[in-house]
Amino acid sequence: MKGAAMAGGLVGACVLTALHELTRRTTLKAPRMDLLGMQVLAKGWSKTNLAPLSEKQLYSYTLAGDILSNAAYYSLAAAGDRKNLFIRAGVLGVAAGAAAICIPRKTGLNAGYSNRSLQTKALTVGLYLAGSLAAAAAIRLLDKVGPRNGQ
């Protein structure tokens, strides 16, 4: 069911975002994916002829983009049979966390936002993994309560 995949992906993205916000407000070594995303957007935006974005606009646009892109990404857990849903979700979560740690340094972004310490790296991977598993759980639940008998 495509609707369950996208809805589950959205649940996972919202869980990831909520956990990230909670973690960054309570833990000094929390990953700062919000700042990394804002850096990416500001860098890209500066190459256009558009007026610069305010800090509030950067944050809002980044947050919306993160939720939408993470929802689409997490919905991939529903690809194929549902038998391996949680395994696929786990692999997707760990892969996203690893990418968040590795890619910034290779692209000239502030790598410290996601990997300034071992705790930051572990939290980065853990947050993406938590979001992916929440997406899988939501997909599984939505599959069970979804339309029946072709309705």
pLDDT in tens, 81-137: 889 999 999 999 999 999 999 999 999 999 999 999 999 999 999 999 999 999 999
Residue with tokens 């290779």: 106
Residues 6+ apart with CB under 8 A from 42: 53, 58
Residue with tokens 């972004």: 109
Q: Determine the structural domain holding residue 70 and report its residue range.
A: 2-145
Confidence of residue 149 (pLDDT cuts 50, 70, 90): very low
Pairwise CA distance, residues 135 & 121, whole Å: 22
Residue 151 lies in a domain: no
Whether the CB-CB separation of 133 and 89 falls below 8 Å is answered with yes
Reported pTM: 0.91
Provide the number of structural domains found in the chain.
1
Residue 78 lies in a domain: yes
* DSSP structural state of residue 79: S
